[in-house]
Structure 1
Amino acid sequence: MPDTFTLIKNRTEPRLGQLERALATDGSARPAWVIAILASVLIFTTVVDVLGNLLVIISVFRNRKLRNSGNVFVVSLAFADLVVAFYPYPLVLYALFHDGWALGNTQCMVSGFLMGLSVIGSIFNITGIAVNRYCYICHSFSYSRLYSYRNTLLFVALIWLLTVVAIVPNFFVGSLRYDPRVYSCTFAQNVSSSYTVAVVVVHFLVPIAVVTFCYLRIWVLVIQVRRKVKTEESPRLKPSDLRNFITMFVVFVLFAICWAPLNLIGLAVAIDPSRVAPHIPEWLFVVSYFMAYFNSCLNAIIYGLLNRNFRNEYKRIVTSVWVTRLFVTETSRAATDGRSMKSKQSPPPPLNNNESVRDRVNKESLK
């Protein structure tokens, strides 16, 4: 396997653009305040990512109102966001404080695979959510048959299968490389122009187009219902359905905002790597990359702000954890106080000359 990666690297090395060759020899360290800002963003993202997405998953399993076919995709999306918090993000954080440290070949491949699993899995799950909402609102009569429990699980499994299939070509093209600008192993945009264009189109532009179509159709229906235009295919929207749609629409918009700069940079570099890549400011690439990082912690926050059921379940989970913690603390404190009271009890006074042990016992029992 190492020989295969070496051959791939040797084949792709001549195609590297000027920017990547310059970065390979660049040993300049960033100012301490820049490192502090990047580290703070990454720490905040990691903590909120783990806590928020765990809350989402637990909420769906605990709350009967949240256990529906649409939220199966929400749980899948939360899992995709969690993936990066347990391996790639900690490695990036370690590299931030150890300037010049780089991933080994195996670490780079594993980190790049998990990063791709999270990124591509997120956009594919967001697409699945949009299609689900479109079928639920615009084709409600056939929704129950199309999104049965079994079919929904099959759709989610298909999403993850397509995600893995989309990542595998990177290992043959040799596009997963350590980038010192963002301290992580990531997709190298200037390894192959045609492959970069294909990645941006298939992994970003096509899903965005599908999601946009679905949400535009939903908005048209919402406007029709608001204006009381009755048609055969126009069901009466419930307020909860409208809130759920708005929540998922905001999730999509934030994803597009966070990931658009990085994808547009990749598309520009792919068109003419030798001329465009050297003129892209390093700060712009770094900011766009950390914006993409930041997106993984936003979804759980959006659910809590815009969805009443998620918000109430968040409160119940946090309250139950807090009450359990107080109960354990008070129990341990009471046990400690009981042991200390026993240890502080004074020994009985010595026996008098004319007093026997039996007399002492009788006195104690009469008290």
Structure 2
Amino acid sequence: MGNVFVVSLAFADLVVAFYPYPLVLYAIFNDGWSLGDTQCKVSGFLMGFSVIGSIFNITGIAINRYCYICHSFSYNKLYSYRNTLLLVALIWLLTVIAILPNFFVGSLQYDPRIYSCTFAQTVSTSYTITVVVIHFFVPISVVTFCYLRIWIMVIQVRRKVKSEVRPRIKPSDLRNFITMFVVFVLFAICWAPLNFIGLAVAINPEAVAPHIPEWLFVVSYFMAYFNSCLNAIVYGLLNQNFRREYKQIVMSIWMPHLFFQETSRGGTEGMKSKPSPGLNNNEQVKGETL
């Protein structure tokens, strides 16, 4: 059921790809925003919806992996099919609740430096600090705690600390954990500069804001934008299943006839040489423990 959170994270990344990012490109090519205030507000809302949805989903994934590896006996009860769907729904409900105050504060504005309608850090000092703390520092702290506990568990397993009842972690689970850990690290790296700038500006707007170089602000913003593109790359580099699916997608687009021929031939050969269930299960058991 942990894959549901990955799908939810992918949805958060796709939101900006289908609406706000094309509008940003349009503004860049036209050297300004010419799509009206309504489009600006919708674009800014969806941008924040994607960003906050991403960090909340990354937090949900970290908690899920922590429960799966460190509290495996109660995992199935905690993350039943129904509970998992409810947790994902809760994540998106909290995301919407977190975004709505922007409309009352009036912080969704067009910024000509980055050609985007986005959160204006100087509108409200208290609100900016709240956003940075609740939407960045708190989730980062929770995720850091979860992954530190998982790393401790992995090290204990590797060093055989528990000699009598040694926990067993599947290699596939370890690979999935590493993949999501890299996703978290890249998110923190990409979003940290912008959040630290926002926090500094919010604490003392008159003294700090004029002294922040425009290039630093622009670079920090586009680093944050770029993060939405990184997750798919991380999955492809670290996960064999994703690489295989990426290859099939590319083949189906560029060589559809060869792709469908290979798929049909592979399915026929698989049926002819299907291994016995007993052998397959035995081999799987042998390779699933560290």
Question: Normalised by the shorter chain, which TM-score bucket?
Answer: 0.7 to 0.9
Counterparts of 1:198-213 in structure 2 under 5 Å? 198-213=130-145
**Does residue 220 of structure 1 match 2:152?**
yes
* TM, length-normalised to structure 1: 0.68
Between the aligned residues of both structures, percent identity stands at: 84
* Count of residues paired in the alignment: 260
Aligned to 2:33: 101
**Does residue 172 of structure 1 match 2:104?**
yes
Aligned to 1:269: 201
Equivalent pair of 1:137/1:235 in contact (CA under 8 Å): no
Equivalent pair of 1:102/1:183 in contact (CA under 8 Å): no
Equivalent pair of 2:121/2:201 in contact (CA under 8 Å): yes
Distance 2:106 2:259 in 1: 54
Aligned to 2:228: 296
Secondary structure in 2 matching 1:186: strand
AA of the residue aligned to 1:136: Y
Counterparts of 1:327-338 in structure 2 under 5 Å? none
Distance 1:226 1:316 in 2: 35
Counterparts of 1:1-367 in structure 2 under 5 Å? 69-230=1-162, 235-325=167-257
Alpha-carbon displacement from aligned partner over 1:28-78 (angstroms, at most 9, x marks no partner): xxxxxxxxxxxxxxxxxxxxxxxxxxxxxxxxxxxxxxxxx1111111001
Deviation of the 1:233 alpha carbon: 8.5
Deviation of the 1:314 alpha carbon: 2.1
Greater alpha carbon shift after TM alignment, 167-176 vs 233-242? 233-242
Secondary structure in 2 matching 1:178: strand
Distance 2:248 2:36 in 1: 44
Equivalent pair of 1:140/1:235 in contact (CA under 8 Å): no
Change (3 A) 1:218 1:120: same
Alpha-carbon displacement from aligned partner over 1:328-366 (angstroms, at most 9, x marks no partner): 9xxxxxxxxxxxxxxxxxxxxxxxxxxxxxxxxxxxxxx
Distance 2:244 2:173 in 1: 17
Distance 2:55 2:164 in 1: 33
Structure showing greater radius of gyration is: 1
* TM, length-normalised to structure 2: 0.86
* Greater relative CO (CA pairs within 8 A, separation 6+): 1
Equivalent pair of 1:139/1:233 in contact (CA under 8 Å): no
Equivalent pair of 1:138/1:234 in contact (CA under 8 Å): no
Deviation of the 1:231 alpha carbon: 7.5
Aligned-residue CA RMSD (Å): 1.7
